[in-house]
Amino acid sequence: MRTKAVATAALLTLGLTACGAEIAPTAATTASAHYPVTVDDCGERLTFAQKPARVVTNDVNTAELMFSLGLADRMAGYVMPDDKGRVDKVAWQDGYQQTTWLSKKVLTKEIALDAGADLVFAGWHYGFDEGSGVTPQAFKALGVDSYVLSESCRRGRGTERGVMDPLEALYTDLANLGEIFDVRDRADRLVSDFKAKIAAVPQPEHRPSVFLYDSGQDKPYTAGKFAAANQIIDKAGGANIMGDLADTWVTAGWESVVRRDPEVIVINDYATPGAEEKRKFLKSFPPLAGVSAVKNDRIVVMGYVDLVESPRNPAAISTLADYLCTVPAR
């Protein structure tokens, strides 16, 4: 598609020269030559006749994916709960300042329509929810396009998520957004930079076992094979004890945690209770008293946006690797 667009623009330039014209194609002509463009999103082919101009994103990670590509000016705004809005915004300060925080609650069809959205960028468990009726199909019926976050892609007919490695999902979304917004060169440079940074991360002498604690006291909510946190742990030199669960974010059992005896626990810091309350719970929960990470007080806190698919993943890998390098072999 890009080759065809470039060829078309080149032929147009040659044609004007041959006819003795003194003017070059306008910026509008060059931009429109890129469209229509088609991308694969969770196995569905999406075609865009023009560059979206009023995008509504749900959650901090989708907003920052847009910001990382310099697309804040194409956004009508973002939806982000307060417990995720407390993230450090320095990295994309300009992006946050250029667009509008539409809601600190949940994404609704009314919010998107009131903002004049022509594209909603969200995901299953990241805004899209059949229970609330906020789905790509519902937006399509309203004349609004949707793009589904690749980390959240559903597997077949069920609600289980994950169809590709988490970092591959990040690279796929950057490439797709690059095509949709005609900034593919920018996206390719970002992906190359991310890959180089991850490849340079130092590895510990042994692979400590890691349990990702998101939330829950009766049963823990954690990261399975297809959650971004799983590959963050892996690339940092650790081994996710729940990496055999073929889903993204899933509920497990405390018995499995005790049996697998993680050397490190990573707390996902968001929502209520906060990270310190989660730490106190883990330290005082009797079934975990004999678990290595609790006995040795190897509990590290990381931010929500670091542990879901986002442009902060490479830095998160480096940060976690630094910690894992301090963990001695059993």
Q: What would the mean pLDDT of 22-33 be, rounded to a whole number?
A: 51
| Cα–chain center distance at 278 | 24
Domains (range + CATH), the chain? 1-34 (no CATH), 39-197 (3.40.50.1980), 202-324 (3.40.50.1980)
Mean pLDDT of 104-129: 96
CA 24 – CA 27 distance, rounded (Å)? 9
Angle at 234 between CA 62 and CA 212, to 5 degrees: 70
Closest CA to 87 of 320, 319, 307: 307
Average of per-residue pLDDT across 255-271: 97
Mean pLDDT of 110-137: 96
Q: What pLDDT is attached to residue 281?
A: 98
Percent of the chain residues topping a pLDDT of 70: 90
Predicted pLDDT at 12: 36
Instruction: Report residue 83's pLDDT band, with 50, 70 and 90 as the boundaries.
Output: confident
Q: What angle do CA 187, 106, 312 make, to 5 degrees?
A: 30
Output the pLDDT for position 35: 97
Q: Is the pLDDT of residue 96 over 80?
A: yes
pLDDT reported for residue 91: 82
Pick 310 or 92 by higher pLDDT.
310
Q: Is the pLDDT of residue 5 over 50?
A: no
Per-residue pLDDT band for 9 (boundaries 50, 70, 90) equals: very low
Q: Which of 159, 136, 140 is nearest to 149 (CA)?
A: 136
